[in-house]
Structure 1
């Protein structure tokens, strides 16, 4: 699976995470630290499972729950036109 930002989406890091701006419509999404880390890892080519394992290191959350959360995040971002999943 490949994850990419469309040309019309800009990503900017913030103190608390990441902001995605859809330049076509002027809407933006703010991701918290975990969501930002997950998206950055996925954009860099890290697998969903490896991303889930990275997010759960030192956490009480299991990798199955993290993988489900990542899938939900990707689904929401894809439906909003903020990422392309292929």
Structure 2
């Protein structure tokens, strides 16, 4: 399923990855390059399987590890209220 951030969430690319700012609370999260790739893939309409494929292709990571990392990040973003 594609990922969507609420209108109160701002994203900014950095030299290291991406920063997410929740304007409601002032909290922010810094995504590393792998998290950035996952979020970019999902925001562009790809599903979790596409994000896993992107991680495996871009980084030296096993498919099971990529699957777990994608699932964990998506769960954390949704539980935090940043994404739906």
Flag whether TM exceeds 0.5 (same fold): yes
Instruction: Compute the displacement of 1:60 (Å).
Output: 3.3
Q: SS where residue 72 of structure 1 aligns?
A: helix
The number of aligned residues is: 84
Which residues of structure 1 form unaligned runs of 5+?
A: none
Runs of 4+ in structure 1 over 3 Å off: none
Instruction: Compute the displacement of 1:64 (Å).
Output: 2.2
Instruction: Compute the displacement of 1:57 (Å).
Output: 1.6
- Alignment-derived partner of residue 27 in structure 1: 27
Q: SS where residue 11 of structure 2 aligns?
A: strand
Which residues of structure 2 form unaligned runs of 5+?
A: none
Q: How does 1:7-22 map to 2 (within 5 A)?
A: 7-22=7-22
Larger strand proportion, structure 1 or 2? 1
Q: SS where residue 6 of structure 2 aligns?
A: coil
Looking at structure 1, the residues matched to 8 and 21 of structure 2 have their Cα atoms a distance apart, in angstroms, of 8
- Alignment-derived partner of residue 4 in structure 1: 4
Looking at structure 1, the residues matched to 78 and 60 of structure 2 have their Cα atoms a distance apart, in angstroms, of 28
Q: Which has the higher contact order (CA 8 A, sep 6+)?
A: 1
Looking at structure 2, the residues matched to 47 and 80 of structure 1 have their Cα atoms a distance apart, in angstroms, of 20
